[in-house]
Amino acid sequence: MKKSLLAVAAMGAFASAAQAQSSVTVYGILDVGYIGSTSRAANNAATNTFTSATNAGGAFTQNNGGFGDSAQSTSRLGFKGTEDLGGGTSAFFTIETSVAPNGATGVFGATGTGNRQTFVGLKKNGIGSGAIGTQYTTIHTSMAVTDPGNQNNVMGNLIYDKWAGFTSAQTGATYDLGTSLQNNAGNQNNISYTVRSGNMLRFDGDNFAGFTPKAFYVATNNTNTQGTAITNAAGTQTVAITGGVNNNTGWGLGLDYTWQKLLVTANYQTFKQQTAAGTYASSRLTGLQTVTPAAVPGGFGGASQTGAANAGGASNGNDVQQYYAGTYDFGILKAYAQYINRKWTDINLSTNYWSRSAQQVGVRSFITPTIETWASGSTGRMNAVGSGGPTANLMGWQLGSNYWLSKRTNLYAIYGMQSTSNANLAAIPLGGTQPITNPSSYSASNYAVGVRHTF
């Protein structure tokens, strides 16, 4: 009897110890408030469609306002956990989805950005951690600690370029964003870099002498039997390809360095998507080639870079992204400096490309124990199609403030403005034809006041 009691007690103690070595945390953010925006375009027809098709030399102004959500931080719900495996090794996981407080069809996001993070991995103390799944890129995690606006979703930041509030103001219905890359100069929705990717193996090293390395590799590849059919017509040869390769790959490297109150980071990442299947028609007279499917960039708006089911999936392009930044904490305020560059090139036609670069400086400070403020200013430049393609100068600035009611709850007010000058609003889209050469200018302002609670 005594042995039985001792065995039961030992088993109970072992089970309690095992349970203590594992933990699961539920966390999230709910962000709601009032959001408004004003957008203006010169040399655009005075209609309410506001697309490149209506560019007839007029002017247009549009105002939006109403209660919304996720202006300061995207609302989300997540689960994360760890398990101690012994010997300095542990297992961990994260599942995080976006939340739509005002969603008419459901609380949880059903788009390509709904799955914010989902991965599982292993960690070894003294070495680092590795995980596989949908994860943030190295640029995004570095920007999380080097952006003066803390990656808020209000306009005015050309590095982390977002526009909060109204879907119609940031998707294909406005400025023809979905088909003409050149129009992305001023009406941004996170086009500076790829935020996350599925099918990612990521490694984060431990800090060693102030240096913290990061790296990732993305792969979604398949190859089928390729079929080719060639048709010759007067002046044109058409090659129709079925099957073949359909490869989505990418990799990235990052390195952070901290020394006392200084932090600097350097990051490089590149993605490639190549689809062999399609129709390739070449003119014997001009040498010009028309390719279907058309080349399209990916990773916009926070959507995953790879995978056919993801809204941000690229097509037939090389996407190279670089980010360099630094911060210094002076005590009374923290100073920020950032630079980003992205160039996307058509695999089938190297002279067909789109590039964008921007630089920003900012400060962030607590002016009282409960009132926090920040300010930033940025400039940039966009170039598209080729050396003779359209260009545009970019400008943006943002002011913001938090009033902290507690460590988890704050009131906020954010105002931002940005503009694009000398842009070609309906320039040659990839695979398109004659551009509208009338130069256009664009400006917009965005503001939000609200409450954010984290848990």
The pLDDT assigned to 52 comes to 43
CB atoms within 10 A of CB 317: 22
Range of the domain at 186: 24-454
How many helices (H) and strands (E) the chain has is answered by 2, 19
pLDDT in tens, 217-261: 998 877 888 888 989 888 898 888 888 877 888 999 999 999 999
Residue 3 lies in a domain: no
Within a domain: 12: no
Looking at the domain assignment, is residue 18 inside a domain?
Answer: no
pLDDT at 11 over 80: no
pLDDT above 80: residue 290: no
What CATH number does the domain containing 60 carry? 2.40.160.10
4 in any annotated domain: no
The Cα 133–Cα 142 span in angstroms is 19
* Local structure of 23: helix, strand or coil: strand
Paired tokens of 57: 């030399």
Residues forming beta bridges with residue 134, ordered by sequence position: 118
Residue with structure tokens 């542990």?
90
77 vs 197: CA distance, rounded Å: 19
The encoded tokens of residue 438 equal 């009338």
Is the per-residue pLDDT at 299 higher than 90? no
Range of lowest pLDDT (91-105, 140-154, 205-219, 374-388): 374-388
Closest residue by Cα to residue 140 from 363, 362, 340: 340
- What six digits make up the tokens of 351? 């002279």
Number of Cβ atoms within 10 Å of the Cβ of 125: 11
pLDDT per residue over 87-122, tens digit each?
A: 999 999 999 999 888 877 778 755 556 889 999 999
Write the CA distances from 129 to 72, 122, 147, 159, integer angstroms: 30, 6, 24, 28
- 138 closest CA partner among 7, 43, 51, 256: 256
Asked whether residue 6 is domain-assigned, the answer is no
Question: And the tokens for 84?
Answer: 């101690």
pLDDT tens, position by position, 37-69: 887 766 544 343 444 444 444 566 777 788 888
Concatenate the DSSP letters of all residues of 379-399 into one string.
Answer: EEEEEESSTTS-EEEEEEEEE
Are residues 394 and 377 in contact, defined by beta-carbon separation less than 8 angstroms? no
- The token duo for 354 is 């789109």
Which residues, other chains included, contact 11 with Cβ-Cβ below 8 Å and sequence gap of 6+?
none
Residue pair 132/201 in contact (Cβ under 8 Å)? The answer is yes
User: Position of tokens 């002046």?
Assistant: 235
Does 445 reside within a domain?
yes
Structural contact between residues 402 and 395, judged by C-beta atoms closer than 8 angstroms: no
Total structural domains in the chain? 1
Give domain status of residue 8, yes or no. Answer: no
Q: What is the mean predicted confidence (pLDDT) over 16-43?
A: 78
